[in-house]
């Protein structure tokens, strides 16, 4: 496995343009990524320290995934095409005296659809069956502390069986509770509470979700299907 940061980045770039079997060989043999035999990576630039993909997990075409110390996709987790996931590497010293974990963790059948931007300078977690759906959403884990004029970080979590709709913004420290929906165009700037439909700027509870809906009761076994 390649240790040099420069040669790892070069290998990741070359792999993006290779046919499937050669691309997989570079990812597993040269970069040391741990891929289940059924996991698939498209023509994507994957330049991270550690990548683990479970059964049926997919990273689609034209995904940029760089700078994370750890990326983990559970069984049947999917990142669709044209998603940009970027982080500042831990050794860069950009966030001095800030404890952070630059990582992306996706649970069982978690989903990130197309055309999203994810700042993973701190942990971004999608629990089992969680979805960053639609398109054009921003997940942001770092921002300037205006009191100290220093960069600060906080993790973001989309909890189990929740959905964040198109063009939403999740700010540092955002937590979407389980079995909840964030309406399109909303801004989540902290910890939300309850099984609710949230919406607005900032997002607030609008009404309780119906836990009998099919989205909240998808089967754990088998392929994910439409979701």
pLDDT in tens, 149-179: 788 899 999 999 999 999 999 999 999 999 9
Whether 28 maps to a domain, the answer reads: no
- Cα distances (Å, whole numbers) of residue 49 to 1, 11, 91, 97, 150: 11, 13, 12, 22, 26
Whether 93 maps to a domain, the answer reads: yes
Specify the pLDDT at position 227.
61
Whether 211 maps to a domain, the answer reads: yes
Count of structural domains, the chain = 1
Count of beta carbons in the 10 Å neighbourhood of residue 61: 12
Count of beta carbons in the 10 Å neighbourhood of residue 177: 18
The whole-model pTM stands at 0.94
Specify the pLDDT at position 149.
78
Whether 20 maps to a domain, the answer reads: no
Average pLDDT over the chain, rounded to whole?
94
Task: Look at residue 145 and tell me whether its pLDDT is greater than 70.
Answer: yes
Task: Look at residue 15 and tell me whether its pLDDT is greater than 90.
Answer: yes
Whether 25 maps to a domain, the answer reads: no
Range of the domain at 125: 33-217
Task: Look at residue 226 and tell me whether its pLDDT is greater than 70.
Answer: no
DSSP letter (8 states) at residue 28? I
Whether 174 maps to a domain, the answer reads: yes
Token pair 């790892």 is at which residue? 8
CATH label of the domain that carries residue 47: 2.160.10.10
Task: Look at residue 189 and tell me whether its pLDDT is greater than 80.
Answer: yes
| Cβ within 8 Å of residue 176, ≥6 positions away | 130, 157, 158, 159, 162, 164, 170, 182, 188, 192, 198
Whether 148 maps to a domain, the answer reads: yes
Whether 109 maps to a domain, the answer reads: yes
């Amino acid at each position: 496995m390649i240790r040099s940061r420069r040669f790892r980045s070069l290998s990741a770039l070359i792999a993006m343009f290779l046919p499937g079997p050669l691309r997989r060989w570079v990812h597993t043999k040269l970069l040391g990524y741990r891929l289940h035999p059924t996991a698939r990576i498209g023509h994507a630039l994957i330049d991270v320290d550690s990548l683990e993909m479970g059964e049926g997990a997919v990273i689609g075409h034209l995904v940029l995934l760089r700078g994370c110390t750890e990326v983990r996709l559970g069984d049947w987790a999917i990142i669709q095409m044209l998603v940009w996931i970027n982080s500042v590497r831990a050794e860069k010293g950009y966030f001095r005296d800030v404890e952070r974990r630059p990582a992306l963790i996706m649970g069982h059948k978690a989903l990130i659809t197309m055309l999203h931007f994810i700042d993973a300078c701190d942990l971004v977690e999608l629990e089992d069956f969680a979805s960053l759906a639609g398109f054009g959403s921003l997940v942001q884990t770092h921002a300037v502390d205006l009191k100290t004029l220093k960069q600060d970080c906080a993790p973001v979590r989309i909890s189990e069986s929740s959905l964040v709709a198109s063009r939403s913004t999740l700010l540092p420290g955002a937590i979407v509770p389980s079995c909840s929906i964030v309406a399109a165009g909303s801004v989540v700037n902290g910890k939300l509470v309850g099984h609710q439909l949230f919406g607005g700027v900032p997002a607030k509870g609008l009404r309780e979700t119906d836990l009998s809906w099919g989205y909240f009761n998808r089967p754990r076994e088998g392929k994910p299907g439409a979701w």
